[in-house]
Structure 1
Amino acid sequence: MGSPGARGAAARSAIEGVRELAGEELTAAQVFRRADELLRPVLEFDAVCWHTADPATGLVNSVQSEDLSLAAYDHAVRLEVWEDDLATFPKIRHSGVQAETLSRVTGGRPQESVRYREQIAPAGFGDELRAVFDSAGGMWGCAAFMRAPDRGPYLGRQRRLADAAARHLGNALRACHLPAAAPDAADPAPAVLVLDRANRLRAVSGPAEELLARLADPTPTALAVPTSVAMAAEQARRAAHGLPVRQMPVRVRTRDDRWYLLHGSALRGGAAEEVTVVLTPASPAEVMPLHLAAYGLTAREQEVALLLVRGSDTRDVARLLVMTPYTVQDHLKSVFTKTGVGSRQELVARIMLGSGRC
């Protein structure tokens, strides 16, 4: 890709472009498309799979790819949930970095990864770079970048570049989750799905068909249901086996800016049998922490804001959080600045009624 100087200039330009995405009022799908255009020349990947995630748990809840057919995506979901593989999204997230490559984590022996043996190599790729998009304590998305074998493994500078870009992409995706204006119509009733072992629909009740359409992945996959539903089902099967699972339920935002909670439960016979997934509209109390995180509030600022929204005054907040009233005021000023309001009443309206985008 040219001289070191030219590579460095291209990398800096790409990072600056990614950094600016947070201020462009884009949807998540648009963020991913722009990031693809900016990063493909410098990371030198041949295919990428983008995901949004439940910011509270990090569970993947959608998929987008313009390079892959996703004909084997059902197998990818099972591998992600069931296999204790190398360089998984949760392991990367807890490793202290935001990007990792299979070649590096395996010491040049990617065949040690079940994901490599069963998916990456059969699909004709030689190395994979994964990145998680964290911001303000939440994981808002992630991606897997694949490259052809003749390119060789990803270089250290490319992993570091992906790590830097991932931090900015976390900010851009977080900005996409700012609360939107409250919808005119009331939320529909909960929907109940019954899925077989292959996550095919066996029965539905409530407004399931309409809701599934609003949860559909940006890219068609081999799954018969959206990614979020399949992830909830597989997590339920893990729990039925007595295996640890990440915090449930799965949270997902629909195309019309409503948050839903997906609760999975295994039926008789355990993990090898059917599961139900109940999709319920999230209450304001369940959505508020996500909205506060979307504005970039720190954990302490979120605690202060939640208490204020629930009716506590400065003295109550100081007592409950064991801090001085002056410290509460300092946090409150920061909360007002980040959320763009000038009073507690405006804060309540902003968080409860919404005024964001995406």
Structure 2
Amino acid sequence: MGSRGVRAAAAQQAIEGLRELAGAGLTAEAVFRRADELLREVLAYDAVCWHTADPATGLVNSVLSDDLSLDSFEEAVRLEVWTDDPATFPKIRRSGVRAETLSRVTQGRPERAVRYREQIVPAGFGDEMRAAFDAHGGMWGCAAFMRAPDRGPFLGRQRQLADTAARHLGNALRASHLPPGGEAVGGAGVDAGPAVVVLGASNRLLAVSGPAEDLLARLADPSRTSLGLPTAFAMAAEHARRTACGLPVPQSKIRIQARDGRWYVLHASPLQGSAAGEVTVVAAPATPADAMPLYLSAYGLTAREQEVALLLVRGCDTRDVSRLLAMKPYTVQDHLKSVFAKAGVASRRELIARIMLGGGH
């Protein structure tokens, strides 16, 4: 077998390994670490930074990297939110592909990108390839792959492989957001109420409410960063500052799931009458309206199946669903069978209990 055949066989083996991750019951961190084992050689990268994301908005809410120094991570957050660079994660999602390289999108002139000049080159790297891990309409995570300058830019076949890998990683991360064992988690403790933190201009922690200390620990990133608090809080704060400047943002809130399976929603706003740049971030348990669509998406339900399931939660019967969604009753029943199978339940009552408790209520 020639070198091309060997590369193709290695790439196929990596993809098969990634496909299996969706049914492995792994945490997001374990998904990333296994993906690194499968992809590092075939994508030929020297460093990678993995992120989970709010699936509804695509906003990054955690970071994991064993390769990169995160001693100036506040600068990376600032660049991510404020810089209109080529090949940002939102632009990749809108482009219709799942993976893109900085060299390709800049037509061989990566120095056009602020991120390249201020972050990638100082860290000792050349080309960067980014991938967005979408599945069932949500972006569950993303990654940035970097390689040493002397290795040249990423090749077209490597970008195509990353594009295929991203689809399987989206499914694996979606599955990782299910409660452990597929069981409801609503009884796993009692929340002490909203947690409040105050962040300075560089997103360093200035003050916390009592419940915030415990929540900050439960939402901590897999990798330690210079921020000293979860990435989601800094991202929420930076987007609040953009809003205050009259600039567009995907949404004013960020959702994040704790290790116990509960969803939380972070709202941020500039602190009035304080030093410039200070922001208050309030983290509260997700309401059913916030949590249920994410929970249903995590089960892999299609958009239509989610509509059917949400109507059931609101107390609608088959006839109501048929009328409200302009479906034939037998079509509704077909959707219900698929919903039950994906959620691992046998009845509407069990489905409603699973959804309500799965959202942390």
Q: What's the counterpart of residue 51 of structure 1?
A: 51
Contact 1:47/1:146 (8 A) holds in 2: yes
- Bigger drift between 201-210 and 153-162 goes to 201-210
Q: Against the structure 1 CA distance between its residues 104 and 229, is the aligned structure 2 distance closer, same or farther, given a 3 Å change threshold?
A: same
Secondary structure of 1:261's match? strand
2:218 alignment partner AA: R
Aligned length: 355
Once the two structures are superposed, what CA deviation does each residue of 1:207-259 show, in whole Å capped at 9, x if it has no partner? 11111111111101111321000000001000000000112310011122221
Contact 2:262/2:358 (8 A) holds in 1: no
| Distance (Å, rounded) in 2 between the aligned partners of 1:271 and 1:121 | 33
Which residue, 331, 342, 346 being the options, matches 1:342?
A: 346
Once the two structures are superposed, what CA deviation does each residue of 1:163-209 show, in whole Å capped at 9, x if it has no partner? 00000000000001113433332112111111110112222223111
Identity score, percent = 74
| Distance (Å, rounded) in 2 between the aligned partners of 1:13 and 1:128 | 24
Contact 1:238/1:271 (8 A) holds in 2: no
| Distance (Å, rounded) in 2 between the aligned partners of 1:136 and 1:271 | 42
- The normalised TM-score by structure 1 is 0.96
Q: What's the counterpart of residue 126 of structure 1?
A: 126
Q: CA deviation at 1:344?
A: 0.7
Contact 1:266/1:273 (8 A) holds in 2: yes
Q: What's the counterpart of residue 66 of structure 2?
A: 66
| Distance (Å, rounded) in 2 between the aligned partners of 1:44 and 1:24 | 25
2:57 alignment partner AA: T
Q: What's the counterpart of residue 90 of structure 1?
A: 90
Q: Give 4+ residue runs of structure 1 displaced > 6 Å after superposition.
A: none
Which residue, 292, 299, 316 being the options, matches 1:295?
A: 299
Q: CA deviation at 1:58?
A: 0.5
1:153 alignment partner AA: P
Q: What's the counterpart of residue 186 of structure 2?
A: 182
Q: Against the structure 1 CA distance between its residues 61 and 336, is the aligned structure 2 distance closer, same or farther, given a 3 Å change threshold?
A: same
| Distance (Å, rounded) in 2 between the aligned partners of 1:52 and 1:274 | 26
Q: What's the counterpart of residue 322 of structure 1?
A: 326
Contact 1:240/1:271 (8 A) holds in 2: no
Q: What's the counterpart of residue 103 of structure 2?
A: 103
1:177 alignment partner AA: H
Q: What's the counterpart of residue 237 of structure 1?
A: 241
1:297 alignment partner AA: L
Q: Against the structure 1 CA distance between its residues 196 and 171, is the aligned structure 2 distance closer, same or farther, given a 3 Å change threshold?
A: same
| Distance (Å, rounded) in 2 between the aligned partners of 1:101 and 1:95 | 13
Q: CA deviation at 1:270?
A: 9.6
Secondary structure of 2:282's match? strand
Contact 1:252/1:261 (8 A) holds in 2: yes
Secondary structure of 1:25's match? coil
1:37 alignment partner AA: E
| Distance (Å, rounded) in 1 between the aligned partners of 2:97 and 2:188 | 42
1:63 alignment partner AA: V
1:315 alignment partner AA: R
- Bigger drift between 74-83 and 343-352 goes to 343-352
Q: What's the counterpart of residue 282 of structure 2?
A: 278
The 5 A counterparts of 1:297-312 are: 297-312=301-316
| Distance (Å, rounded) in 2 between the aligned partners of 1:127 and 1:80 | 17
- The normalised TM-score by structure 2 is 0.95
Q: CA deviation at 1:271?
A: 10
Secondary structure of 1:125's match? coil
Secondary structure of 1:30's match? helix
2:133 alignment partner AA: F
2:232 equivalent to 1:228: yes
Gaps of 5+ in 1: none
2:164 equivalent to 1:164: yes
Contact 1:196/1:275 (8 A) holds in 2: yes
1:311 alignment partner AA: G
1:178 alignment partner AA: L
Q: CA deviation at 1:272?
A: 4.1
Q: Against the structure 1 CA distance between its residues 194 and 355, is the aligned structure 2 distance closer, same or farther, given a 3 Å change threshold?
A: closer
- Bigger drift between 118-127 and 325-334 goes to 325-334
| Distance (Å, rounded) in 2 between the aligned partners of 1:84 and 1:60 | 16
| Distance (Å, rounded) in 2 between the aligned partners of 1:232 and 1:305 | 30
| Distance (Å, rounded) in 2 between the aligned partners of 1:269 and 1:17 | 54
The 5 A counterparts of 1:172-211 are: 172-180=172-180, 181-211=185-215
Q: Against the structure 1 CA distance between its residues 271 and 240, is the aligned structure 2 distance closer, same or farther, given a 3 Å change threshold?
A: farther
| Distance (Å, rounded) in 2 between the aligned partners of 1:301 and 1:149 | 47
Q: What's the counterpart of residue 77 of structure 2?
A: 77
Secondary structure of 1:250's match? strand
Q: CA deviation at 1:345?
A: 1.2
Once the two structures are superposed, what CA deviation does each residue of 1:320-349 show, in whole Å capped at 9, x if it has no partner? 122222221221121112112221112112
Contact 2:286/2:359 (8 A) holds in 1: no
Gaps of 5+ in 2: none
Which residue, 216, 221, 225 being the options, matches 2:220?
A: 216
